[in-house]
Amino acid sequence: METAIALILISTLTAATPVVLAAIGGTLTAQVNVFNVGLEGMMLTGAFVGFLVSDKTGQVTLGVLSGGVAGAAISWLLALAVLSLGADEVVAGLGVNLGALGLTAVLATAIYGTQGSVQSAHAGLLTHLPAGAAHLPVVSQVVRGMDWMTVGAAVVIAVAVVVTYRTPVGLRMRSIGSNPDAAAAAGINVPRYRYMAFLVSGVLCGVAGSYLPLSGLSLFTDNMTSGVGYIALAAVLFGDGRPGRAALGAYLYGLTFAVGVALQKVGIAAEVVQMLPWVATIVALAIAVRRRRSTAAAAVGSAV
């Protein structure tokens, strides 16, 4: 029983970590009033570049960092299109997502000479935490199952919360979000903050993507993210600009995923299990958005 709980917790954290990182990234762009649909493409690019660099150098950390840089590059491209060239944010974001899907698959085939998936013998894996707290039964197992990126995700949440609510930068970003024109009139350089938000979200998404091939199997497959970026996008909407809530959404996804894996072991069809997180995300989003709308309506009502 203890082992089962520990396994579910580990599986929750592992599934949630990339979603948490990407959702925090998306939350930053949401704070400056940009709907960043490109999370999925930035993650997939980060996954491929992270895998490629780790495979060629044998350095996992270098792979993760390169994934972040690649994500930032894609993000900059999207920011340029949306912020400076007047592109529609949804259409351009979708272009980035499909482009990343096509480009990573084409490059993987061109570089490794096989279609579908590539296994690496040299890439290595993220380091796990040392076995501490051995006297606590479930906790020790969970800690041993965690790698440093699951901890890193928690640090990123904390930093994002502090920056959002306790720093001038966060205040300015939120003021851009609530009224860009007023923020500009108050002397805030709105485009600069928007570019910055895009770049940071690109780094976070790229790092998040690199977690996928480097956490479990040293494997890259075509379309490896397979929609995880859209789950992160839903978590961004769930959080509505608040990093803590977005992270909560991401961990709820992780929990659904973990429960699904457990259910699959007792013989429930794989497709039904894979469906669970999507359905749960849609339901959670419906509840969150509806409640927000009704509180907003109540606020307007009391003002009148």
Beta bridge mates, 118: 220
CB of residue 130 vs another protein: minimum separation in angstroms?
Answer: 37
The correct pick among 155, 159, 169, 275 for binding another protein (CB under 8 A) is 275
Contact 203, 72 (CB under 8 A): yes
Span from 3-11, 100-108, 210-218, 241-249 in contact with another protein (CB under 8 A): 100-108
Q: Is residue 92 helix, strand or coil? A: helix
Question: CB count, 10 Å around CB of 88?
Answer: 13
Q: 15 near 253, Cβ under 8 Å?
A: yes
Binding window for another protein (CB under 8 A); candidates: 8-16, 81-89, 132-140, 195-203: 81-89
Phi, psi of 222 (to 5 degrees): -55, 140
- Selected binder of another protein within 3, 4, 5, 106 (CB under 8 A): 106
Contact with another protein (CB under 8 A): which of 94, 138, 188, 261?
Answer: 94
From the list 28, 11, 13, 6, the residue with the least C-alpha distance to 203 is 28
Q: How far is the CB of 82 from another protein (least distance, A)?
A: 9
3-state helix, strand, coil in the chain (%, to 5): 80, 5, 20
**Site for another protein, residues 18 to 77, rule: CB under 8 A:** 33, 35, 37
Residue 256 within binding range of another protein, rule CB under 8 A = no
Between the CA of residue 188 and those of 165, 171, 183, what are the distances in Å?
Answer: 17, 11, 6
Cβ-based nearer residue to another protein, 98 or 133: 98
Q: Is 295 an interacting residue with respect to another protein (CB under 8 A)?
A: no
119 SS3 class = strand
- Contacts with another protein by CB under 8 A: the residue count is 52
Q: Which residue lies nearer to another protein by CB, 33 or 218?
A: 33
Does residue 263 touch another protein according to CB under 8 A?
A: no
Helix (H) or strand (E) holding 220, with range, is strand 219-221
The single residue among 3, 4, 5, 115 that binds another protein, judged by CB under 8 A, is 115
| CA–CA distance, 267 with 263 (Å, rounded to integer) | 7
CB of 32: closest distance to another protein in angstroms? 12
**Does residue number 182 form part of the binding site for another protein (CB under 8 A)?**
no
Whole-Å CA distances, 7 to 19, 136, 138 = 19, 15, 9
Determine, following the binding rule CB under 8 A, whether residue 99 of this chain makes contact with another protein.
yes
Closest residue by Cα to residue 231 from 81, 77, 20: 20
Handedness of CA 34, 209, 109, 275 (dihedral sign): negative
User: Smallest distance, Å, CB 229 to another protein?
Assistant: 10
Report in angstroms the alpha-carbon separations of 122 from 28, 41, 109, 201, 217: 35, 25, 18, 29, 11
Nearer to another protein, 78 or 247 (CB): 78
| Smaller CB separation from another protein, 131 or 282 | 282
Give the interface with another protein as residue ranges (CB under 8 A).
33, 35, 37, 81, 85-88, 90-92, 94-103, 105-110, 113, 115, 222-223, 226-227, 230, 233-234, 237, 269, 271-272, 274-275, 278-279, 281-282, 285-287, 289-290, 293
